[in-house]
């Protein structure tokens, strides 16, 4: 989940797992796998950075859990 800002200034959380495309049209437009679109204030590069940060946290947590299960 990533925090984003809508064009009206409202902050909301978006499930990064459902992002299909991120475009600059010129506003940053995110299209989800279900076809729903969100226009946000963040740049496409910022959205990508947030998604990468989110994925690193998730995969890092998965690795810690795996190690704990293995008794490390």
- pLDDT recorded at residue 64: 73
Tokens 């946000």 — which residue?
40
The per-residue pLDDT for range 28-54, each reduced to its tens digit, is 999 999 999 999 999 999 999 999 999
Which pTM value belongs to this model? 0.82
CA distance readout (Å), 43 to 4, 21, 59, 63, 65? 10, 13, 24, 30, 33
């Amino acid at each position: 989940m990533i925090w984003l800002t809508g064009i009206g200034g409202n902050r909301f959380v978006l499930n990064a797992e459902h992002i299909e495309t991120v475009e600059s049209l010129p506003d940053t437009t995110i299209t989800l796998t279900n076809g729903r679109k969100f226009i946000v204030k963040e740049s496409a590069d910022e959205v990508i950075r947030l998604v990468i940060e989110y994925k690193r946290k998730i995969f890092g947590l998965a690795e810690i859990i795996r190690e704990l299960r293995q008794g490390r």
